[in-house]
A = this chain, B = another copy of it.
Amino acid sequence: MPFDLAKKLIIDTIDPKPLGEEQIPLIDATNRIISKDVISNMDIPPFSRSTVDGYAVKAEDTYGAEENKPVNLNITGEVSVGEYPELELKKGETVEIVTGAPIPKGANAVVMVENTQKKENTLLIYRAVTQEENVMKRGTDIKRGDTVLNAGQFLGASEIGVLAAIGMNYIKVQRTPIVAVISTGAEITEPGKKLTPGKIYDINAYSLSAAVLKSGGKPVYMGVIPDNEIALNKALKQALDSSDMIITSGGVSVGPRDYTPKIVNSLGKPGVIISGIAVKPGKPTTVALIGKKPVFSLPGHPTSALLIFYLLVKPIIESLVGEKVLLENTVKANLTTRLFSAKGRKTFVTVKLSRDKNQRLIADPIQTGASGAITTLSKADGFIEIPANQQFIDSNEIVKVTLLRSKKI
C-alpha cells in the first residue's frame, strides 16, 4: 500500500479524538491542552484603578489649571493598593492615590504627582486632566462573559497567567493518552540486565517511550516481552486494558517467529487494517485497531521504528492529546549528495545538519544500510522525504528537513 494512502487510511479508520477531560490544579497544567472554552466570570480589572502615582480628582475640578495658574484642592485622604476606599470625593476635594489602587467614589481621573505640589492639606495642580485620564476602568481588559482562551489551546506561561488572572486555580484539560510500549524479539535483552551470547540490548522500548512523552502522551514502559505467543498475547491484553494505545516493535517481518500481527489481529475487531507499507524504511509496519484502541507494530530496526513513529504514530498521539496549534518543525537545507529513492516506495533519509563555509545550512545524508543502526540515531538531526514517483534528489538541491531535535547550528 502506498505510504500516503496508508497514512490516510490510518487517520480515517482510527479517527483519533481527545479522550475526555479531567480537572487539574492550574499549577500542574503547563503543557496541557484546554478541553473547553474558558469564559471569565469576572471583570478585569475588577474595579477602576489608577495607572499612576498621584491624586484622584473630579476632572472638572482641574479644568483651567496651568503651569502658572494652579488649581487648589483639599486633600481629604489617601488610597493605597489592596484596600477599598470608603470615602467619597466631593467637589473641590482630592485624595492621594498610588498605582494600582482603586479610584474612590466621586473621582473620575488621576493627576500625576509630577504635576502637583502639596502644601499641608492643600494640593496645587499645575495641569488639567480629562475624564478617565490615568484610569484603567473596570472590565477594560477582560469583561465578565468574555472568552479568554479557546478549547484546544496549549497552556504555556502566558495562558496559565490569563487563567490565574480570572481566579481559576483548577482547570479542565484533555486527558493525556496512555501509550503502552512493548519490545519483542528473541535476541532482545533489557538494558541493565546481563547480556548473554547472541543477545543485544533493547533500544526501542526506551527510545519510543521518550518519543511518546515528547509527543504529549504518557508512556508506559512494558519492556521486553519473552519470545513466545502466550507471553505476547498476555502482554498485549494487559496493555489493552490499561492504556489508550499500544506500540510494539520487532516481530513484524516474515520470519517463522514473527507472530505479532497474527496475535494483534486476534485481540478484537476491526483488527489489522494495514499490513505492510510501500515506504523505506519501515516496510513491514502493521497497524491495527482493537475497539477504539490503535495498535502500531513497528519494525525492530531502531532508526526505522523511530522514523515510522514520527511519520505515522506521532500525529495520532497529537490528535488524541487534542492539540490544535503546532509549529511545523522544518528547515530548508542544501543536500550534499545525490539521493535515490527505493523503487516504487516513498523513501525517508535521515540527515545531519551543519553549516558550510558560506554559512549555508547543509543536509548530509547518514548512510544507514547494514551498519550504523545505533549511531545513526545519535547523528540524525532530521529527515527528508523522496516521493515514490521521483527517481532521485540531486546534490545541491534545496530540501525540506523535518527536525528530530532542537539544535543550534
CB within 8 Å of B: which residues of A? 26-27, 30-31, 42, 44-47, 51, 53, 80-85, 98-102, 134, 136-137, 140-142, 148-149, 154-170, 185-188, 190-192, 195-211, 213-214, 221, 227, 253, 255, 257, 300, 302, 306, 309, 325-328, 370-375, 377-378, 380, 403-408
Number of copies of this kind of chain in the complex = 2
Residues of B within 8 A of A84 (CB): 196-198
21 A–B contacts from the bound complex (CB under 8 Å): A30-B213, A30-B214, A31-B214, A44-B200, A44-B374, A84-B196, A102-B198, A140-B371, A141-B374, A148-B375, A149-B378, A155-B210, A157-B208, A157-B210, A161-B207, A161-B302, A164-B201, A165-B201, A167-B201, A169-B191, A170-B192
The answer, among B187, B204, B327, for a CB contact under 8 Å with A408, is B327
A256 to chain B minimum Cβ distance, whole angstroms, is 8
- Docked CA distance A81–B186 (Å): 6
- Nearest chain B residue, comparing its CB with the CB of A378: B162
Residues of A contacting B: mostly: loop
In the bound complex, do residue A158 and residue B378 qualify as a contact, i.e. CB atoms below 8 Å apart? yes
**CA of A371 to CA of B132 in the docked complex: distance in angstroms?**
12
- Across the interface, A221 reaches (CB within 8 A) one of B27, B195, B372, B406, namely B27
Q: Contact partner of A200 among B46, B202, B325, CB < 8 A?
A: B46
Q: Is the CB of A80 within 8 A of B186?
A: yes
List of B residues within 8 angstroms of A196 by Cβ: 84
- Docked-complex contact A187 and B157, CB < 8 angstroms: no
Query: Within the assembled complex, what's the spacing in Å between the Cα atoms of A137 and B203?
Result: 19
Question: When the two chains form their complex, are residues A408 and B378 in contact, meaning their CB atoms are under 8 A apart?
Answer: no
Bound-complex Cα distance A31 to B257 (A): 36
Q: Interface centre among A101, A140, A371, by most B CB within 10 Å?
A: A371
Per the bound structure, the CA–CA distance linking A377 and B187 in Å amounts to 53
Tell whether, in the assembled complex, residue B170 and residue A372 are in contact, meaning their CB atoms are under 8 Å apart.
Answer: no
Smallest CB–CB gap between A14 and chain B, Å?
Answer: 22
Tell me the smallest distance from the CB of A122 to a CB of chain B, in Å: 21
Contacts of A406 in B (CB 8 A): 154, 325-327
The residue in chain B whose Cβ has the minimal distance to the Cβ of A85 is B198
Q: Which residue of B is nearest A255, CB measured? A: B98
